Each structure stands twice: as structure tokens, then as C-alpha cells.
Structure 1
Amino acid sequence: MTDLIAELTAVRHGQSRANVMFPAADAEGRLESGLTGRDADVELTDLGRAQAAAVGRHLAGLSPDRRPEVVVTSPFRRARDTWAIAAQASGLPWPEPVTDDRLVDRGVGDLEMMTRAAIRARFPQEPARLAERGYMRYRPPGGEDFHDMTARIGSFVADVHRDHPGRRVIVVAHDSVVLVLRGVVEGLDIDGLAAVEAGAGSVRNASISRFVADGARLTVAEYNAVGHLETVTAGPDESADPAV
């Protein structure tokens, strides 16, 4: 591949209500998290909105030749809202964002919006399946494993290169998407993805990762960076993926 984008910046959405409510429900062993509706409609918390604004201020501080020229978000509300808040906080004009369904969070199928206790009660076979397969090779009923995610994110990256060669692209999505983007860029298998997560930790809320063109490929310039959030109060940023 010779026609590459110049830079790919990947931002995880700010803290969501699921990032707070699911860990609390799991810690107490509750069957219900207190959230209703679809995962796609989960909103940001006040902290998540503050984190999104901090992303915007960071982008405003970049020189014009570093600012993104193309904006693509997950269609999930927490990602779209993160970009909208960041764009407003930056005080700068930005291109109209587009959404891409390939940037959705990891699909958990029948386990969507279920606490650990609810999964154990309603799908008692799944804890053993997870233990046998391991988190990244585990495919929830009706959901995805990380092989599936790599295929769809790889397709997205190929299309971005084709459609926007030489341009700077920003993606606002989810922790699993950012991790798999790195895997696609570096050609990592599942064990490689696991090694990245073990070394760098899980992808933080409102973190920034950058991949830049170097010859005929993208390389990692920074990953899971949160220095721009230093003035924002910390809070839980765990993945809402089921840990059965």
C-alpha cells in the first residue's frame, strides 16, 4: 500500500454512564445495572463531558498542519457526543463528522447491557466458555471476538487510506476499536493485542492514540495518552464489555 493517510488519531469516548454503573452493579452482585435501553444510546457522564472538552482544548493547541482534516465517529451516542463537545470546546471550525458502522464497540450479542450476575443467571454456560477461550478469543452468543473486530476495522482502515490519502484523519470510538486499530496498523495477532493491553493497560476514556505515515506504512507515534486530561478529575473508565 503506497497511498496512505498522513496521520490517524484515535480517541476513545469520554466516561459513559455504563463505565460507572456496570462496575458498581457488578461489585454488588446485582442483576440490573440501573441502565435501560440500548448500548448505542448510553450517554456521557458529567466527567465524560469534561474529558471531551479537554480533548477539544488539546486539538485547539495543535498547529494548523497537525489538526485533523477528516472526522469519523462511531454511530454510538457516547462517541458522537464526545466529538461534538470536543469540537465546540476547541473554538475552531471542523469538517462535518461522518459515522461509520464499522467503528462500533465490540458486539456482545445476547449479553448486551447485562451485568455479570445477570449473565451467570441467564447464560450459565458462558463463564466456562470465556475461561476456556480467553477474553479476546471468546465470542459471546450473537456477538464478536477480536478476530471479527480485526476484520471489520481492517476494512475501515483500508477504505480510509483509499478515500483520504495524504490527509489527517481523526476517529472517535471505543476502547476495543482503538486497541484493534493498533493491531491492524502493526499487523498483530490476538496474542499481540493481548501483549499491547498488558503493557499499556486498557484504553482510557478520552485517551488519544496517534499513528503516522512512515514510508509505506503507519507507525505508532503515541498510544493511550492522557496528559491532556491532567486538569480533569479522574474517575472509573472500565470497559463495559461483560466479564462473566
Structure 2
Amino acid sequence: MSTVVLLRHGRTAANSGGVLAGWTPGVGLDDTGREQAAAAGRRLAGVPLAAVVASPLQRCQETARAVLDADPGRGLGLETDERLGEVRYGDWTGAELKRLAKDPLWKVVQAHPSAVTFPGPEGESLRAMQARAVDAVRAWDARLGPDATWVAVSHGDVIKALVADALGLHLDGFQRIVADPCSVTVVRYTETRPFLVRLNDTGGDLAGLLAPPKGAKRRRRRSSDAAVGGGAGPA
């Protein structure tokens, strides 16, 4: 069972100012965001990570480096994957959210996101964003192996789309999911299905992400599926 820790980047001035940053270069963490990233790093310190992979955008790179700096004993370097990058919002990039909310497309983004392709030559569809993000996570799972725990530092809409996929939820429902700055969302992938372990977690102990004792691993594998009509999967 591979486990991915989806970590949203810390707060930026664009977040606090209500601006859709998208792929705008030079958008880094603000003071609050740096504190959030450092706290996330401390929460993950001691968790035996196989990799830390980040979107190429500055705010994610800074957040990922805070995770690595909190536990340098792991000896990991920062990996970058463009497929974990922000949605390409096209002509909406850099606009204030209060202005975008008056655009007729805004209602479609909220109610029927699977139908949306953002305007302009650089605009991306939300379907394409979800597909590339899911492909990235699956590829890193395969590369790192079935017992790996790793961190993917990404963006709010990307994480929400990954959670929707893990839950078997249509993309049109992904706006019901919340991913706050520097929140931790954890998905465990098994041979049969993913399990959502944590969602939008901004505090508390992450010791549950530690690998189980050797003797417990086999027992947990045998119970990795819930009974048909039963309750949740593994704890």
C-alpha cells in the first residue's frame, strides 16, 4: 500500500488578497505561509518519507523545502513534477476573485466544473488538470514502490481533484472538498481501491503515517478491503 501525503502550499499574498495567481511567476509564501510551512515540516518530521515531490511553482517549492529542512536526516532531495502544478487559468490568471465572480463562467466552475476550459490560449480544462495530477500520483506510486509514504506539494484545486478521484466522486462534486493552505490530506492506495485517510488536516499528530511494525503489516494487508456493505477500510 503506497501512501501519498497531499500538502497544499502555505499562504501567499495572492491568497490573502483574493487574487487568482495561477502560474504567475514569483508568487512566494508570505510571513504566515512560511510559518505554516515550517509547522507542516515539524509535523512530518520523523515520518519515513520516500520522496518529497512538488509543483514547480515557487510557493510549492518553498513549502517543500520547509518539509525537507525540518528533517535533514532523511537525506532526500527535492523532486519537481510539472503535472502537480496549478490549473492553467488562462486569461483569468492574476485577476481578482471578486471580479471573476461576476463572469458567467464562474457559476459553471462552481456547479459544473467538468464542463470548464479556462479562456485564452493558455487556458486548461479542469478535466485535463485532474487527469495529469492523477497520472502523476500513480506514476510516483509505481516508481517508489508499494510500501512507500511520500509527500506531494501542490495546489488547492489539484488536491481537491485528486481527492475526488480517490473517492470515486465525479469531478462536478470536487467543489464540495476543502484544502486549506498547508493542510495535509492523505490517500492510501491499495490494489483494489484508494482510501482517504485524512482530509484538510491542519493540526495534530501525524504518527499514524508511520509504517506499522513488521508483524502487523501482513495483518493489515489482509484487512485492506472493507466487507461488501460494511464499514471503512484499514484504520
Smaller-chain TM-score bracket: 0.7 to 0.9
How many residue pairs were aligned?
A: 200
Answer yes or no: is 1:222 the counterpart of 2:195. no
Partner of 1:51: 36
Greater relative CO (CA pairs within 8 A, separation 6+): 1
Partner of 2:228: none
Q: How does 1:104-183 map to 2 (within 5 A)?
A: 104-116=85-97, 127-132=103-108, 134=110, 136=113, 137-142=115-120, 143-166=123-146, 167-183=148-164
Letter of the aligned partner of 2:131 in structure 1? A
TM-score by length of 1: 0.72
User: Gaps spanning 5+ residues in structure 1: where?
Assistant: 24-32, 121-125, 230-244
SS in 2 for 1:11: strand
Cα displacement string for residues 136-166 of structure 1 (whole angstroms, at most 9, x for unaligned residues): 2432213233212111112212312332222
**Distance of aligned partners of 1:93 and 1:164 in 2 relative to their CA distance in 1, 3 Å threshold:** closer
Partner of 1:27: none
Identify the range of structure 1 (178-187 vs 47-56) with the bigger mean alpha-carbon deviation.
178-187
Cα displacement string for residues 77-124 of structure 1 (whole angstroms, at most 9, x for unaligned residues): 00000111222133533411111111111111112112246669xxxx
CA drift of 1:215 comes to 4.4
User: Gaps spanning 5+ residues in structure 2: where?
Assistant: 206-235
Query: Percent identical across equivalent pairs?
Result: 26
Partner of 2:54: 73
**Distance of aligned partners of 1:133 and 1:12 in 2 relative to their CA distance in 1, 3 Å threshold:** closer
**Distance of aligned partners of 1:119 and 1:221 in 2 relative to their CA distance in 1, 3 Å threshold:** closer
Contact preservation (8 Å) 1:153, 1:184: no
SS in 1 for 2:73: coil
Identify the range of structure 1 (147-156 vs 186-195) with the bigger mean alpha-carbon deviation.
186-195
Partner of 1:11: 7
Partner of 1:26: none
The CA RMSD measured in Å over matched residues stands at 2.7
SS in 2 for 1:40: coil
Letter of the aligned partner of 2:175 in structure 1? A
State the distance in 2 between where 1:145 and 1:155 align.
Answer: 16
Contact preservation (8 Å) 1:53, 1:90: no
State the distance in 2 between where 1:151 and 1:74 align.
Answer: 15
CA drift of 1:183 comes to 1.9
State the distance in 1 between where 2:97 and 2:39 align.
Answer: 32
